[in-house]
Amino acid sequence: MSDGYDDQLQRFGAALGIEPEWLAVTGETHRLAPQALRRLIEALGQPVDDRALIEAAIAELEARRAPTDPEQLPPLLVAELGSPFALPVSLAPRLAGGNLRLVSEEDEHICLAQHLEASLAVTLPEQPGYYRLEIGAADGGWVSRRLAVAPKRCFGADDRAPRWGVAAQLYSLRRSGDGGTGDGLALVGLVEAMAELGADAVAISPVHALFAAEPARISPYSPSSRQWRNPLYIAVDAEDAAPDSSELIDWPAQAARKWPKLRAAWEAFERDDEPQARAAFAAYRQEGGEALEDHCRFEALCSLEGLPGDWRRWPPGLRDPRAPEVAAWAAAHASEITFHAYAQWRMALELDRAQRRAREAGMAIGLINDLAVGADPGGSQAWSRRDQLLDGATIGAPPDAFSPRGQGWGVAAFSPFGLEAHGYGAFIDMLRAAMRGVGAIRIDHVMGLARLWLLPEGGSPMDGAYLRYPFETLMRLIALESHRAGVRVIGEDLGTVPPGFREWLDRFGVLGMQVVWFERDAWIQLDDGAWVAGFAPAERYSARAAALSSTHDLPTVAGWWLGRDIDWRERLGLIDDVVGERQARARDRAALVRMLGLELELEDRSAEGVARLIDALLVHLARTPSPLVLVQIEDLLGLEEQANLPGTIDQHPNWRRRLPIEVDALRHDPRLRARAALLARRLDAMMPARAEEAR
């Protein structure tokens, strides 16, 4: 390439939103190498070899930011309730003196301006929602765009009442006759038990659709689609199913057992004359529209044709869901596609039932659904929404102290360019699906709404970079959809985030997360003279975030104290300095008991000692100013093993562990009852102080 090529690529990267440098946890600034920038631009589907094409692409990107013709406006504009709204001033030569009017979802016509000022600023109605914005140019031409008017904050953001809830892996739940895995009926049982014990929320693992034809692919954070759900959680078994006492789930065996039962239920549904149920299913399918049909076609193609769960390896004629070959195949296999639509409907009803029961039982929130950060690049969502997902780049994390080579998560992200070009349709549809049948959602890796670490698919995380996303636009859409659904929003913001990011989350009414293990305070000197970062006392916690005992990716409280996570990583060869890890954990144990004011020998591995630690830690969480305390069910039960061990796939039984007790017995379990009462007493004691703060 001739002189100036690297500079041109730098300008191109900046126009695309690729950050040229990033700050490591050590404070060191790293700059993206020219070759890495080239690979990433290419992975984003942009030209890298033809300088004329590059320059044209840069010009097009710049024109989007300063349009001179209203036809250049994106399909969806986003505004905030109570804030000034103005079209780009670059349109003033065309629009000054023109007209603006709105048409509401109820077909109400609202005149915003009959003679636009040069500022192109107008006052919007006080009703949030989606409108049709009709833009009349001074020369008489008209352009129509969609306008989303969003509340300033998410639903329930100003509710400061102290509450507690439990976090559980849905598959881990047991009930009598479940046949071997947790399901919707077990979830109802958990909700009822926890409501009786005073909990206001039940957070569950993701229920995203995986790959029906490949049941060994079990990670809920690498789904085929984030918009649709996993039918293996449908309660197809009655009480007469054979008892199952297995500690681990055999997912392929479960799929082989449950899919035929679900198909039999569908066949019975097809035979039965139940007009009300048929009408409900038809309405669900119509509401799901093209996106639902695409997902069902994907599942049917894989199951009937034996195609791999990666559309990129399919015959060329089937790789595009709009191809005539796909339409012809779907017409010939309409019954199979209807079956998969039925499965999705049944799964939606499972969550609807559990959430309804939660609210009837008095829970203020109910279910908290988990929304993964990405989807498998070969799955149904990537197949059906190719124009709105990145094809060629996957999500990961930059190198840090825990992962010196960085991380590659192997999941695809939304394309900020594709989302804008298609009115954020795939994002809005995903939000609506995530918010159905629940009281709150937890957005995994919420920083991804502002920027994501992307790497060329198949490349090294070391060659990645941050790509910026339209954070304010996405957050406003989340706020709007949360109000329409009556659903609260929690953002997983653990780890390093950009300066001011958590303040922005609070600005939009998104509750952050703070986990005991990561909440540290000033350095302290231990009795042996060693220095360690102390654990933060309760009063140092943020009132803008939920307080958690742990997460699915971290050790349980008992497991942390006993070093079970270190044991596992040593066994699997994932630790270079085992002695150093154990010494560091010993220092942390000393720091934790000091912060808790607990008299406990550091080498006490007895059940009684661990139980006292858990009780003290729960009291600590309940003393924080957080409006929501979430406790892992494993911690309420004093279990040692965690759900997932990061850095492993099947070396550790990830996503397979079952609880040792049935959900109906939870309300009678003395450990759980005592800890629930402890949390309730402490939170009740905090209520007057919270009320005073609110005033």
CATH number at residue 323: 3.20.20.80
Q: Do both 264 and 181 map to the same domain? A: yes
Q: Is 39 within a domain?
A: yes
pLDDT at position 371, please? 99
Last residue of some domain: 25, 41, 65?
A: 65
Last residue of some domain: 103, 129, 150?
A: 150
> pTM (2 decimals)?
0.96
Compute the average pLDDT of residues 12-23: 94
169, 183 Cβ separation under 8 angstroms: no
Q: Do both 330 and 192 map to the same domain? A: yes
pLDDT at position 238, please? 65
Last residue of some domain: 65, 87, 105?
A: 65
Using one digit for the tens of pLDDT, what is the confidence trace for 80-109? 998 889 999 999 999 999 999 999 999 999
526, 587 Cβ separation under 8 angstroms: yes
pLDDT at position 401, please? 65
Q: Do both 342 and 419 map to the same domain? A: yes
C-alpha to C-alpha distance for 302 and 16, rounded to whole angstroms: 36
Using one digit for the tens of pLDDT, what is the confidence trace for 560-569? 999 999 999 9
Using one digit for the tens of pLDDT, what is the confidence trace for 290-342? 999 999 999 999 999 999 999 999 999 999 999 999 999 999 999 999 999 99
C-alpha to C-alpha distance for 435 and 439, rounded to whole angstroms: 7
Share of the chain above pLDDT 70, in %: 97
Q: Give the pair of three-digit tokens for residue 182.
A: 């947790």
Q: Do both 32 and 74 map to the same domain? A: no
Q: Give the pair of three-digit tokens for residue 243.
A: 């008892």
pLDDT at position 459, please? 83
Q: Do both 189 and 215 map to the same domain? A: yes
Burial bucket for residue 471 (CB in 10 Å: 0-12, 13-18, 19+): middle
400 vs 649, residue with greater confidence: 649
pLDDT value at 273 more than 80:
no
Averaged pLDDT of the chain: 94
Bridge partners, 77 (sequence order): 147
Encode 60-125 in three state secondary structure. HHHHHHCCCCHHHCCCEEEEECCCCEECCHHHHHHHCCCEEEEECCCCCEEEEECCCCCCCEECCC
57 closest CA partner among 46, 72, 65, 68 = 46
180, 186 Cβ separation under 8 angstroms: no
Q: Is 288 within a domain?
A: yes
pLDDT value at 139 more than 80:
yes
Burial string for 596-618 (b: 16+ CB within 10 Å, else e) reads: bebebeeeeeeeebbbbbbbbbb
pLDDT at position 101, please? 96
What is the band of 400 on the pLDDT scale with cuts at 50, 70, 90? confident
Using one digit for the tens of pLDDT, what is the confidence trace for 187-240? 999 999 999 999 999 999 999 999 999 999 999 999 999 999 999 999 997 655
Q: Which CATH number covers residue 121?
A: 2.60.40
Locus of tokens 């078994």: 237
pLDDT at position 593, please? 98
| 3-state class (DSSP) for residue 646 | coil
Using one digit for the tens of pLDDT, what is the confidence trace for 482-530? 999 999 999 999 988 888 999 999 999 999 999 999 999 999 999 999 9
C-alpha to C-alpha distance for 101 and 114, rounded to whole angstroms: 8
pLDDT at position 242, please? 66
What is the band of 637 on the pLDDT scale with cuts at 50, 70, 90? very high
Q: Is 505 within a domain?
A: yes
589 closest CA partner among 513, 514, 517, 540 = 517
Contacts of 275 (CB under 8 A, 6+ apart): none
Domain that holds residue 56: 5-65
Using one digit for the tens of pLDDT, what is the confidence trace for 424-461? 999 999 999 999 999 999 999 999 999 999 998 888 88
362 closest CA partner among 187, 200, 167 = 200
Q: Do both 307 and 437 map to the same domain? A: yes
404 vs 100, residue with greater confidence: 100
Q: Is 376 within a domain?
A: yes
Q: Is 504 within a domain?
A: yes
Domain count, the chain: 3
Q: Do both 248 and 192 map to the same domain? A: yes
168 closest CA partner among 643, 555, 512, 668 = 643
Q: Is 276 within a domain?
A: yes
pLDDT at position 27, please? 78
What is the band of 695 on the pLDDT scale with cuts at 50, 70, 90? low
pLDDT value at 402 more than 80:
no
Q: Is 290 within a domain?
A: yes
242 vs 371, residue with greater confidence: 371
Residue spans of beta strands (DSSP E) within 205-303: 208-209, 225-229
Q: Do both 80 and 61 map to the same domain? A: no
Q: Do both 331 and 369 map to the same domain? A: yes
pLDDT at position 691, please? 53
Q: Do both 86 and 179 map to the same domain? A: no
pLDDT at position 309, please? 97
pLDDT at position 631, please? 98
Q: Give the pair of three-digit tokens for residue 625.
A: 């100013």
Compute the average pLDDT of residues 149-164: 96
pLDDT value at 690 more than 70:
no
| 3-state class (DSSP) for residue 358 | helix
Compute the average pLDDT of residues 542-567: 97
Compute the average pLDDT of residues 375-386: 97
What is the band of 684 on the pLDDT scale with cuts at 50, 70, 90? confident
pLDDT at position 218, please? 98
Q: Is 167 within a domain?
A: yes
Q: Do both 19 and 117 map to the same domain? A: no
Q: Count H helices, E strands: the chain?
A: 21, 25
588 closest CA partner among 536, 541, 540, 647 = 536
Q: Do both 353 and 431 map to the same domain? A: yes
Whether the CA torsion 319, 320, 323, 328 is positive or negative: it is positive
